[in-house]
């Protein structure tokens, strides 16, 4: 605390006397200044202890003291034994009227001694503030350390609240309270919602202080694993040192989470690389890397589960966070999806995590050996695509495969394939007679038998033969090939929008 008029008067070596007991003697002294002007206030900023030998107030003691009191001075020091002691009674009376503290300074005490005492006290106060701030910053840094950044955040908020005698809370990007100290401080976020939003949406670093009764609330942006806002409040004003400590807490939290986020990103990149190697290069040693960085894969058959979705909550980073918190399965981001690899009997553990994230869809592969993991990942991805198309929370590849080939292909891909394959026939039918598309469909439906197909079309079998020959010519394909026939049959049905579901 700053030295007050009472504190200065209590220093015995100075021999000062508090000459106006009724005045406010507990105002902090910001500086000491001496002047003999009748109105020195234009040269004062408030909070000073003004020293005079009596020349200044001699002409108008009451007006002199009134001006000093109105200007916010801490007090007046009157040097006695210097020839103007006759003014002192009027000055004392004026100080009693205005509440301005008055010190009588004996002739043996130079004004410089008072200046030195105040200067030394302020220097000691500043040093103590530096020591307290350094100690507090060390405590905040120690609180933030650890493997779990969320636990570190809670400890930092607890230490900050304890040091400042305040309450603290952190609101996330959606406005919800992530952490509070004490826990009941979470209710204070409601009245501050508009200010919290303003700080969060500000494009650059900012700090906002709002009045709260007789106290204050300081709000500052802080970067955790997401953009957030730190709010610190109490029932009296914050000092400059307090604000410095709040800024230190912001820096500590930001750095701790940045370190954790960087480590998480590196770990996720490693897992993606390992999973890709397992899927594409069986036996390349990726299993050994996996065992050292994450843990060995389960024994026996494995199942791949692909997770994804079109909602903001179904982003890969959100899904990875959810799986990491649940500590289930080996998982990694792969080609825009999150893939988890589990033992055949542990699929439900992954699906339970997925159900807690809004809008997530899951595709589940058939069981596979570790050497066939690439196939399992492809199956899971295709099942996920189908689950999204059909708005199903989860879909097994084995169920999907039972719906036929069309069920494995996205409608837009199937349509594009049909358009490309059948385009020569469609263009022919648009400008000439011949009905090649309908003839080809009926011929394939009757397994290449001419008479039944011609009868269905209402034409002679030789007409149908000519049409199919012309179709083969335009398509540039051998229609006797079973593979070509299968592709054309699929294209004809996809072109009709039939996905065989």
| Residue 487 Cα to chain centre, angstroms | 50
Q: Identify the CA nearest to 380 among candidates 402, 408, 353.
A: 408
pLDDT surpasses 50 at 499: no
CATH 3.40.50.300 for domain 145-259: no
Say how many C-beta atoms besides its own lie within 10 A of residue 168's C-beta: 26
Q: What number is the average pLDDT over the span 194-223?
A: 83
Assign 3-class secondary structure to 17-84.
Answer: EECCCCCECCCECCEEEECCCCCCHHHCCCCEEEEECCCCCCCCHHHHHHHHHHCCCCEEEEECCCCC
pLDDT digits (tens, 9 = 90+) for 316-346: 888 887 887 677 778 888 888 899 998 888 8
Q: Give residue 409's pLDDT.
A: 60
Phi-psi map region of 175: left, alpha, beta (phi>0 left; psi -120 to 50 alpha) = left
Ranking 112-116, 224-228, 260-264, 347-351 by mean pLDDT, the lowest is: 260-264
Q: What is the per-residue pLDDT across 249-271, written as a single tens digit (0 to 9) for each?
A: 888 877 766 655 555 676 778 77
Q: Is domain 411-495 annotated with CATH 1.10.10.2840?
A: yes
Q: Say whether 411-495 and 5-119 share the same fold.
A: no
Q: Candidates 2.60.120.650, 3.30.70.270, 3.40.50.300, 3.30.470.30; correct CATH number of 297-402?
A: 3.30.70.270
pTM above 0.85, yes or no: no
On the question of pLDDT at 184 being above 70, the answer is yes
Helix, strand, coil percentages in the chain from 3-state DSSP, rounded to 5: 55, 15, 30
H runs (alpha helix) in 145-239: 149-164, 193-201
Report how far residue 137's alpha carbon sits from residue 160's, in angstroms, rounded to the nearest whole number. Answer: 10
Taking the CB of residue 259, how many other CB atoms lie within 10 A of it? 13
Residue 480 vs residues 296, 412, 419, 437, 477: alpha-carbon distances, Å: 51, 28, 22, 17, 9
- In tens, the pLDDT along 138-164 reads 877 776 666 566 777 888 888 888 888
| pLDDT computed for residue 367 by the predictor | 92
Higher-confidence residue of 398 and 226: namely: 398
Looking at per-residue pLDDT, the higher value among 418 and 208 belongs to 208
DSSP notation for 382-415: HHHHHHHHTT-SEEEHHHHHTT-GGGGS-HHHHH
Residue 23: left (phi > 0), alpha (psi -120 to 50), or beta? Answer: beta
Tell me, what DSSP letter sits at residue 2?
P
CATH, domain range 5-119: 3.40.1390.20
The domain locations on the chain are 5-119, 145-259, 297-402, 411-495
State the pLDDT at residue 147.
58
Residue 500: pLDDT band by 50, 70, 90 thresholds? very low
Q: In sequence order, what are the residues at sequence separation of 6 or more whose Cβ sits closer than 8 angstroms to the Cβ of residue 189?
A: 169, 171, 175, 177, 180, 196, 231
Contact (Cβ atoms closer than 8 angstroms) between residue 54 and residue 85: yes
| Whether the bond into 384 is cis, omega within 30 of 0 | no
What element of type H or E holds 224? none
The phi-psi region of residue 219 (left if phi > 0; otherwise alpha if psi is between -120 and 50; otherwise beta) is: beta
* φ and ψ of 476, to 5 deg: 70, 35
């Amino acid at each position: 605390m700053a030295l007050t008029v009472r504190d200065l008067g209590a220093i015995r070596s100075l021999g000062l006397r508090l000459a106006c007991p009724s005045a406010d003697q507990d105002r902090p002294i910001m500086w000491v200044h001496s002047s003999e002007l009748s109105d020195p206030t234009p040269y004062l900023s408030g909070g000073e202890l003004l020293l005079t030998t009596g020349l200044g107030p001699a002409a108008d003691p009451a007006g002199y003291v009134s001006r000093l009191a109105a200007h916010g001075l801490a007090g007046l020091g009157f040097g006695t034994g210097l020839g103007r002691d006759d003014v002192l009674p009027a000055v004392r009376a004026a100080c009693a009227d205005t509440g301005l503290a008055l010190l009588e300074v004996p002739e043996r005490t130079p004004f410089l001694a008072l200046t030195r005492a105040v200067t030394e006290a302020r220097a000691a106060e500043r040093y103590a503030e530096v020591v307290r701030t350094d100690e507090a910053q060390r405590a905040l840094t120690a609180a933030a350390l650890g493997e779990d950044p969320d636990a570190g955040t809670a400890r930092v908020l607890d230490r900050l609240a304890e040091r400042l005698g305040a309450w603290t809370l952190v609101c996330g990007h959606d406005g919800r309270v992530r952490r509070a100290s004490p826990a009941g401080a979470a209710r204070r976020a409601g009245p501050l919602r508009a200010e919290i939003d303003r700080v969060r949406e500000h494009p650059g670093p900012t700090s906002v202080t709002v009045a709260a009764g007789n106290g204050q609330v300081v709000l500052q942006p802080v970067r955790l694993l997401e953009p957030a806002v730190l709010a610190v409040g109490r029932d009296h004003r914050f000092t400059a040192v307090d604000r410095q400590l709040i800024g230190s807490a912001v820096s500590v939290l930001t750095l701790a989470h940045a370190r954790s986020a960087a480590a998480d990103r590196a770990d996720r990149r490693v897992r993606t690389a390992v999973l890709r190697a397992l899927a594409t290069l069986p036996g390349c040693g990726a299993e050994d890397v996996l065992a050292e960085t994450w843990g060995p894969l389960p024994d026996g058959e494995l199942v791949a589960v692909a997770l994804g979705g079109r909602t903001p909550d179904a982003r890969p980073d959100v899904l990875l966070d959810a799986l990491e918190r649940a500590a289930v399965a080996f998982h990694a981001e792969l080609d825009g999806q999150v893939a988890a690899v589990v033992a055949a009997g542990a699929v439900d553990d992954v699906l339970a995590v997925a159900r807690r994230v809004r809008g997530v869809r899951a595709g589940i592969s058939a069981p596979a050996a570790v050497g066939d993991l690439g196939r399992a990942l492809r199956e899971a991805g295709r099942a996920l695509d189908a689950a999204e198309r059909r708005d199903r929370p989860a879909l097994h590849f084995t169920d999907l495969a039972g719906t036929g080939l069309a069920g494995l292909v996205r409608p837009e891909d199937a349509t594009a394939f049909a358009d490309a394959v059948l385009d020569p026939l469609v263009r022919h039918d648009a400008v000439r007679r011949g009905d090649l598309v309908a003839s080809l469909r009926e011929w394939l439906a009757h397994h290449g038998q001419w008479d039944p197909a011609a009868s269905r079309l209402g034409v002679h079998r030789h007409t149908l033969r000519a049409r199919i020959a012309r179709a083969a010519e335009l398509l540039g394909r051998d229609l006797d090939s079973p593979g070509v026939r299968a592709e054309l049959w699929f294209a004809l049905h996809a072109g009709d929008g039939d996905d065989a579901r």
